[in-house]
């Protein structure tokens, strides 16, 4: 399940919100764990946030999607 955002900043804002709600160390003690998931760019220039494990509000629940296309990897495994 993904929420789609127009900008990386907006997606990070939502990821930050979830991290704060879960009292991750980044927000409480200066540790390194900040997010449940990190936003990823989509093939069409938007940003997808995997919210499979997030506590979604009613509006978010109506806007989640499974239909996301990510750019093809340019990594050469050889």
> Using CA atoms in the order 63, 69, 71, 75, what is the torsion angle rounded to 10 degrees?
110
Residue 8 lies in a domain: yes
Domain span at residue 10 reads: 2-63
Residue 47 lies in a domain: yes
User: Digits of tens for pLDDT over the chain (78 positions)?
Assistant: 999 999 999 999 999 999 999 999 999 999 999 999 999 999 999 999 999 999 999 999 999 999 999 998 766 555
Q: How many domains does the chain have?
A: 1
- pLDDT (0 to 100) of residue 72: 87
d(C-alpha 37, C-alpha 77), whole Å: 25
Residue 69 lies in a domain: no
- pLDDT (0 to 100) of residue 73: 75
- pTM reported for the whole predicted model: 0.88
Residue 36 lies in a domain: yes
- pLDDT (0 to 100) of residue 76: 57
């Amino acid at each position: 399940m993904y929420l789609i955002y127009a900008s990386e900043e907006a997606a990070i804002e939502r990821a930050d919100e979830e991290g704060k709600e879960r009292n991750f160390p980044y927000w409480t003690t200066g540790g390194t764990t900040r997010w449940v998931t990190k936003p990823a760019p989509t093939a069409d220039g938007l940003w997808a946030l995997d919210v499979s494990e997030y506590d979604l509000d009613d509006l978010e629940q109506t806007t989640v999607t499974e239909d996301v296309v990510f750019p093809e990897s340019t990594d050469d495994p050889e």
